[in-house]
Amino acid sequence: MRNAPAAVTTLLVANRGEIARRVIRTARAMGLRTVAVFADPDADAPHVREADTAVALGGTMAYLDQERILQAAATANADAIHPGYGFLSENAAFARACVDAGLVFVGPSPEAVETMGLKDRAKEVAKAAGVPVLPDAPVTGDDPSAWHTAAEGVGYPLLVKAAAGGGGRGMRRVDGPDGLVEAIEGARREAAASFANPDVFLEKYLTAPRHIEIQVFADAHGTVIHLNERECSVQRRHQKVIEEAPSPVVDADLRARMGETAVALARELGYLGAGTVEYLLDDTTGRFFFLEMNTRLQVEHPVTEEVTGLDLVRLQLQVAAGEPLGFGQDDVRLDGHAVEVRLYAEDPERGFAPEPGTLFRYRHNTAPGVRWEDGIAETAEITPFYDPMLAKVIAHAPTRREAALRLARALATTELHGTTTNRDFLVAALRSAPFLAGATRTDFVELHPELRTAAPETPEHVHLAAALAVTVSRRRAADALTGHAPPGFRLLPGHPEPTVVWTAADGADVPIAYRLDAAHGAATLRLTLDGTPRELGLRDLTPDGVRVRDGDREWPCRVAVHADGSVWVNDPDGQRAWRPVPRLPEDTGGPGGSGPVAEIAGTVVAVRVRPGDRVSAGQPLVIIEAMKMEWPSAAASDGVVEAVHVKEGQYVDARTALVTLREEA
């Protein structure tokens, strides 16, 4: 048994967003004083307002500054630090610094963090514990020929993986020798930026396994247990996006075998607290292989909480304070099914690229069995400095199908006005036949590209009719001359139907002719869109919404107009948005030069061309790092580089011109 730490009364949460709020909620319920820390962009963030006290760190990336975090703990008289996940949560030096400062680090020992934080060393420990592993090889030096030799030993396809860190960063798939050098160089850059450690290694890649992880817990009194499995196979960019517990393919026997190896690994480490042992499972053979161990709380921990009835943050705090878990393996239950999604500000149609920007409205209803772990308030500015996750949304139900459909409905009815999100993709995925059938291997997203362009089932013209009806009636009500008149009033009855142009979310201009009429207490909207005339019925028309009838079917629509002029329409199946085009648009000064522009705000980490270079369509010209991921900007067509407008290390805003190309004669 380890020496019990001093009693904890004040907890500093060294993190931000939804995980900071999650930890604060349980800590306060346990009677602890809570301390938040915040960088400059988060001064008004919800976690700052909800803590008992908050300490400013300054800057933008101060959540990675160990000295500032420790000074904040001293300033607030904290006696414990919970690192959350990401940032410093798996930083052994930080864990050791906390201990040296007399603080309780809510996590395993610095030695365990250090050992499992390096994936190559972690695999050696796994082997010693009897856990099966995949073939791998280190990447050393800068000699490409040595890299190719190592790759041939592992076999293609393979992954280049950062030795430190996780979350899909510093990871590249390589299918053959031609892409190896570029993948290693890119993974090294990304690993250095994300984890301050450029080391990478090669590992055999399984093309379509399942990603299964086992939650383990250990106390200081010799108890080591597992809390069953989660499946996290639905991923993009090697990052999880839908997680569930239990897995649809893991039976009691496989669950026991995987759980036993995870517990053996934790015992081999002398582990303390919450940890997750991740595996790749070939569900055709039942064979599984060690992937990594995360020495922290996982993003997806709520699905385990929902099916076991346990509060994992409470258990973390109890174990860190030297208390026993208080239950054994036979006491762990499995109740129903839980599914979680990660709601991101990102664009699935553009390869799930992050979409920093303004959220004018973030509003969701409460529903039985649905849990929201929000990282933002009702309005928010999504900055390019941090992970773009807005919230985790979790549904629990007696069956997997009901949990998935319950979660899809909760997402579909949410109002998300402003920057692009992955909500429609998530709704479509959860409702898709392959997902509901449990066909959720790691290639799920690649096999179903149609999910990336998913849209609400409500016809577009219904949403457009609601937007027009509400905005026209609003404008008329605000007019001193016609404000008293009913919808459809016209000073000149014979005047032709007005025509407007609205820009849709995909950037396409939509010309619309319409006429709004009132007769006998009802309203009618005659709408001509794409040359097709439609007549739709309207009722319950207010400044905030309208019920739209098309034929025998009716939809209740809510309408919002925001400060940027955008018009958003929601109904129970989803939302759409348009931006009215001014009748006299501003002069933009003429067309700009051709060539790629920055699709996202970030830092230029590589410029691969010089003026005079000939380039081919699809060739990466500039690499931008944003939110700890690299985003190549490629040539749209063959040409010659006329000018390069950026340099390495330069921060650029979205839509900044990077390179000017001219077509060859």
Cα 302 to Cα 20: distance, rounded to the nearest angstrom: 14
Which residue segments constitute the domains of the chain, with CATH numbers given? Answer: 10-106 (3.40.50.20), 135-204 (3.30.1490.20), 211-232+253-453 (3.30.470.20), 460-580 (3.30.700), 602-662 (2.40.50.100)
Give the distance from CA 195 to its chain's centroid. 19
Of residues 484 and 68, more confidently modeled: 68
- Per-residue pLDDT averaged across 271-280, rounded? 97
- Per-residue pLDDT averaged across 332-339, rounded? 98
- Per-residue pLDDT averaged across 110-116, rounded? 95
- Per-residue pLDDT averaged across 329-341, rounded? 97
* Lookup result for tokens 């066909």: 439
Instruction: Kindly indicate the confidence band of residue 481, based on its pLDDT and cuts at 50, 70 and 90.
Output: low
Token pair, residue 261, equals 């190896």
For residues 630 and 189, the answer to whether their CB atoms sit within 8 Å is yes
Q: Minimum mean pLDDT among 366-370, 591-595, 606-610: which range? A: 591-595
pLDDT tens for residues 391-402?
999 999 999 999
Mark residue 658 as left, alpha or beta (left: phi above 0; alpha: psi -120 to 50; beta: remaining). alpha
Residues in the chain: 665
Instruction: Kindly indicate the confidence band of residue 617, based on its pLDDT and cuts at 50, 70 and 90.
Output: confident
Token pair, residue 341, equals 């999604």
Instruction: Kindly indicate the confidence band of residue 625, based on its pLDDT and cuts at 50, 70 and 90.
Output: confident
Q: Is residue 333's pLDDT more than 70?
A: yes
Instruction: Kindly indicate the confidence band of residue 547, based on its pLDDT and cuts at 50, 70 and 90.
Output: very high
- Per-residue pLDDT averaged across 465-491, rounded? 71
Q: Minimum mean pLDDT among 301-310, 409-418, 537-546, 586-595: which range? A: 586-595
> What is the predicted pLDDT for the residue at 220?
96
Q: Which of 571, 209, 206 is nearest to 412 (CA)?
A: 571
Mark residue 135 as left, alpha or beta (left: phi above 0; alpha: psi -120 to 50; beta: remaining). beta
pLDDT tens for residues 494-513?
455 677 889 888 788 888 88
- Per-residue pLDDT averaged across 516-522, rounded? 69
Cα 458 to Cα 575: distance, rounded to the nearest angstrom: 9
For the chain, percent of residues with pLDDT exceeding 70: 93
- Per-residue pLDDT averaged across 178-190, rounded? 93
- Per-residue pLDDT averaged across 287-294, rounded? 94
Token pair, residue 518, equals 């009132």
- Per-residue pLDDT averaged across 442-454, rounded? 96
Going 202 to 204 to 209 to 212, the CA torsion angle's sign is negative
> What is the predicted pLDDT for the residue at 509?
87
Q: Is residue 88's pLDDT more than 90?
A: yes
> What is the predicted pLDDT for the residue at 492?
44
> What is the predicted pLDDT for the residue at 593?
47
Instruction: Kindly indicate the confidence band of residue 282, based on its pLDDT and cuts at 50, 70 and 90.
Output: very high
- Per-residue pLDDT averaged across 241-253, rounded? 97
> What is the predicted pLDDT for the residue at 196?
80
> What is the predicted pLDDT for the residue at 506?
79
Q: Is residue 5's pLDDT more than 50?
A: yes
Instruction: Kindly indicate the confidence band of residue 489, based on its pLDDT and cuts at 50, 70 and 90.
Output: very low
Query: Could you tell me the strand order of the sheet in which 224-236 lies?
Result: 287-294, 273-282, 210-218, 224-236, 239-245, 337-344, 389-397, 370-374
- Per-residue pLDDT averaged across 575-604, rounded? 70
Helix, strand, coil percentages, rounded to 5, for the chain: 30, 35, 40
- Per-residue pLDDT averaged across 484-502, rounded? 59
* Angle at CA of residue 418, ends 414 and 420, nearest 5°: 85
pLDDT tens for residues 129-141?
999 999 899 999 9
Cα 418 to Cα 362: distance, rounded to the nearest angstrom: 9
> What is the predicted pLDDT for the residue at 167?
64
- Per-residue pLDDT averaged across 514-541, rounded? 85
Give me the DSSP letters along 310-355: --HHHHHHHHHTT------GGG----SEEEEEEEESEEGGGTTEE-
> What is the predicted pLDDT for the residue at 548?
97
- Per-residue pLDDT averaged across 451-457, rounded? 96
Q: How far apart are the first and last CA of the chain?
A: 78
Mean pLDDT, the chain, rounded, equals 91
* Angle at CA of residue 70, ends 65 and 76, nearest 5°: 125
User: Which residues, 6+ apart, have CB-to-CB distance to 473 below 8 Å?
Assistant: 487, 516, 541, 543
pLDDT tens for residues 194-203?
778 899 999 9
Q: Which of 263, 306, 312 is nearest to 107 (CA)?
A: 312
- Per-residue pLDDT averaged across 425-436, rounded? 98
* Lookup result for tokens 């393979």: 158
Q: Minimum mean pLDDT among 39-53, 195-209, 491-505: which range? A: 491-505
Q: Minimum mean pLDDT among 523-537, 590-604, 611-625: which range? A: 590-604
Cα 247 to Cα 338: distance, rounded to the nearest angstrom: 10
> What is the predicted pLDDT for the residue at 309?
98
